[in-house]
Structure 1
Amino acid sequence: MRYGFIGLGNLGGHLAASLRRAGFAVTVHDKDRKAADCLVEAGAVWADSVRALARQCDTVFTCLPSPQVSQAVLDQILDASRPGLTWVEMSTVGRDEILRLASHAATRGIATMELPVTGGVHLAAKGEITMLAGGDRSLFDLHLPALEAMGDKIFYMGSLGNAAVIKVITNMLAFIHLVADGEALMLAKRGGLDLAQAWQAIKASSGTSFVHETEGQLILNGSYDVGFTMDLALKDLGFAMGFGRAFGVPLKLANLTNDIFLEGKEAYGSNAQSTQIVKLLEDAIGEDLRAKGFPARLE
């Protein structure tokens, strides 16, 4: 089986590299040709266009920044593909959107599986990211070896659309935790505590979180370099609030967090790192959250 991979950004490039390291035949494409250089050196095949890639592959993974881009890329895949091809969407899209796109693909004989991932770019680089699969169980079983090459913990969530819901839930929690972690660290700083020791104490406590243990380090370093933007955070929070309305669940914390991220985007720009949301608090009270011994990037 030849896999195609479209979208070689912060996340997709690492995922495609894991596939290739595991010995899978991989053809790649990205709007930025340079993003594929390392993959081609490792034995991947470059395709000059989405259509060229679709003609060469049995299964196409996409890892893209927005539903609009997913729609545009899928249209090109369908223009060139043959019946029997499988499309695996790894981008974060809403449940209604993945169902709509899958229905569109099915009219051309193309099967769809959703496969959003969570855990961060540093885990993708090590092939240890968490994968959330939705779709026909036979597709999941067929492609499980490829999934195991890219990820560590792999959850089959059931029918198509279910993975979109749980992915949005996990991201919603992450952004809420991020804002809370900044406030907690600032309390420690203003309380006269050593921030490095405070971080360790929180990590060992009932109040810890994955966000504290990972992105908290980037805050204390001052790099904020998580490889995820304000715009992407707001996109995912928008999906969460949409689910809240659809399911009749009031999401007070998510709505407040969304408002805070809108402030962050206004202050630092749409392409600012999502972890810079904590900088709003730092700037507001003129106090930074810096401690020695923390990395600029997660490994």
Structure 2
Amino acid sequence: MRLGFIGLGTMGTPMATNLLKAGHALRVFDIDRSRADALIALGAEWAESPAEAAQGAEVVLTSLPGPAQVEEVIAGEGGVLEGIGAGAVWVDLTTNEIEVIRTLAALMAEKGAETLDVPVTGGVLNAHAGKITVFAGGPEAAFETVRPVLDAMAAEVFHFGALGSGTVIKLVTNFVAFVNAVALGEGMIFATKYGIDTGHALEAIKSSYADSFVAQTDGGKIMSGDYASDFVMSLACKDIRLTLELAGKMGLELPATELSGRVFNEARESYGENVGCLQAIRLLEERNGVALSRLTAAAGLPGS
């Protein structure tokens, strides 16, 4: 298929690479042209604007940091709406705000184009391997049209129904993971403070009812001092904000998410926007005087 791909960040680049490897024709754009060099070497074509990336494309994909960037790329000067044709499908891979998606989808419909919200999960390593999971929302016919594109990037492809439903599921999976991460960090701190070896405590957690994907995946990142550097704090805090804003509109109370969100936001204030999101656990380590990782151990905190 003829594809336009906009946003060549840590997730966008490997996803675009897998589309090329699957034989799709790709025209790419990013605000940093150097990010496209490797893709161009593989056969992608450079576009001078989002509008140019969209011209003649059957499917246009965007992989961007958040709602503001999506609005600019789609509806701003030189945006996708200036280039997309009737019959095309816009696939937003961003974890976005539902009202933004719906507003832009209405503008797409005026151009005769369909919209799918298709946020992704699984991390950078799985993105390179083509083993991410994608959550789609939007018209069934449009989903079936782009299914070969999604299959080229992902091991698991889900369609949940109406536009926005993919985003809701992505927010759910993220806030459940964030709550789990804080609980995991607290458990490891509790055990370490008592004098139990941190690694043994983690193995016990992973061998018990407390096990989770977070424990299996992130426990080692905490102990190594990596703190999930492939998913930055600003994105985690953005996703928590979107979750709580939508929950408020739905009349829901999410106390565990609110408490976890406070930890993540305080960590952002302490360490910055671009650190790994699990620096939230580092914040708890430092407040409790316990080192779970090399980084905090180097700061002179006790640990094991």
With normalisation by structure 1, the TM-score equals 0.93
Moved more, 150-159 or 82-91: 82-91
Name the CA distance, whole Å, in 2 between partners of 1:113 and 1:197. 45
After superposition, the C-alpha distances for 1:221-257 in whole angstroms (9 at most, x for unaligned) are 0122432222211111111112221222211111111
The equivalent of 1:101 in structure 2 is: 104
Structure 2 residue 279 is matched with structure 1 residue 280? no
- What SS class does the counterpart of residue 262 from structure 2 fall into? helix
The equivalent of 2:87 in structure 1 is: 84
Ranges in structure 1 where 5+ consecutive residues have no aligned partner: 292-299
Question: In the TM superposition, what is the alpha-carbon distance from 1:176 to its structure 2 partner?
Answer: 0.9
After superposition, the C-alpha distances for 1:128-175 in whole angstroms (9 at most, x for unaligned) are 111101111111111111111100111110011111111111111111
1:65–1:91 Cα contact (<8 Å) kept = yes
Moved more, 191-200 or 16-25: 191-200
Structure 2 residue 193 is matched with structure 1 residue 193? no
Question: In the TM superposition, what is the alpha-carbon distance from 1:197 to its structure 2 partner?
Answer: 2.6
1:26–1:44 Cα contact (<8 Å) kept = yes
Q: How many residues align?
A: 291
The equivalent of 1:213 in structure 2 is: 216
2:59–2:146 Cα contact (<8 Å) kept = no
Name the CA distance, whole Å, in 1 between partners of 2:122 and 2:238. 17
The equivalent of 2:66 in structure 1 is: 66
2:231–2:276 Cα contact (<8 Å) kept = yes
The equivalent of 2:297 in structure 1 is: none
One-letter code aligned to 1:160:
L
Moved more, 124-133 or 280-289: 280-289
Matches within 5 A, 1:33-48: 33-48=33-48
2:71–2:100 Cα contact (<8 Å) kept = no
2:92–2:118 Cα contact (<8 Å) kept = yes
Question: In the TM superposition, what is the alpha-carbon distance from 1:188 to its structure 2 partner?
Answer: 2.2
2:226–2:276 Cα contact (<8 Å) kept = no
Residue number among 238, 243, 264 corresponding to 1:240 in the alignment: 243
Ranges in structure 2 where 5+ consecutive residues have no aligned partner: 295-304
- What SS class does the counterpart of residue 256 from structure 1 fall into? helix
- What SS class does the counterpart of residue 152 from structure 1 fall into? strand
4+ runs deviating over 4 angstroms: none
One-letter code aligned to 2:114:
A
Name the CA distance, whole Å, in 2 between partners of 1:39 and 1:288. 41
One-letter code aligned to 2:273:
S
After superposition, the C-alpha distances for 1:99-139 in whole angstroms (9 at most, x for unaligned) are 11101211122211111011222211111111101111111
The equivalent of 1:294 in structure 2 is: none
Name the CA distance, whole Å, in 2 between partners of 1:36 and 1:202. 42
Residue number among 122, 125, 135 corresponding to 2:138 in the alignment: 135
- What SS class does the counterpart of residue 170 from structure 1 fall into? helix
Question: In the TM superposition, what is the alpha-carbon distance from 1:32 to its structure 2 partner?
Answer: 1.1
Structure 2 residue 257 is matched with structure 1 residue 265? no
After superposition, the C-alpha distances for 1:187-239 in whole angstroms (9 at most, x for unaligned) are 22123222223222222221111112112211110122432222211111111
Question: In the TM superposition, what is the alpha-carbon distance from 1:47 to its structure 2 partner?
Answer: 1.5
The equivalent of 1:182 in structure 2 is: 185
One-letter code aligned to 1:65:
P
One-letter code aligned to 2:44:
A
Question: In the TM superposition, what is the alpha-carbon distance from 1:25 to its structure 2 partner?
Answer: 1.4
Name the CA distance, whole Å, in 1 between partners of 2:213 and 2:293. 19
Structure 2 residue 119 is matched with structure 1 residue 116? yes
Name the CA distance, whole Å, in 1 between partners of 2:24 and 2:208. 42
- What SS class does the counterpart of residue 116 from structure 2 fall into? strand
1:115–1:131 Cα contact (<8 Å) kept = yes
The equivalent of 1:153 in structure 2 is: 156
TM-align CA RMSD: 1.4
- What SS class does the counterpart of residue 55 from structure 2 fall into? helix
- What SS class does the counterpart of residue 227 from structure 2 fall into? coil
The equivalent of 1:296 in structure 2 is: none
Question: In the TM superposition, what is the alpha-carbon distance from 1:35 to its structure 2 partner?
Answer: 1.2
- What SS class does the counterpart of residue 245 from structure 1 fall into? helix
Identical aligned residues as a percent:
39
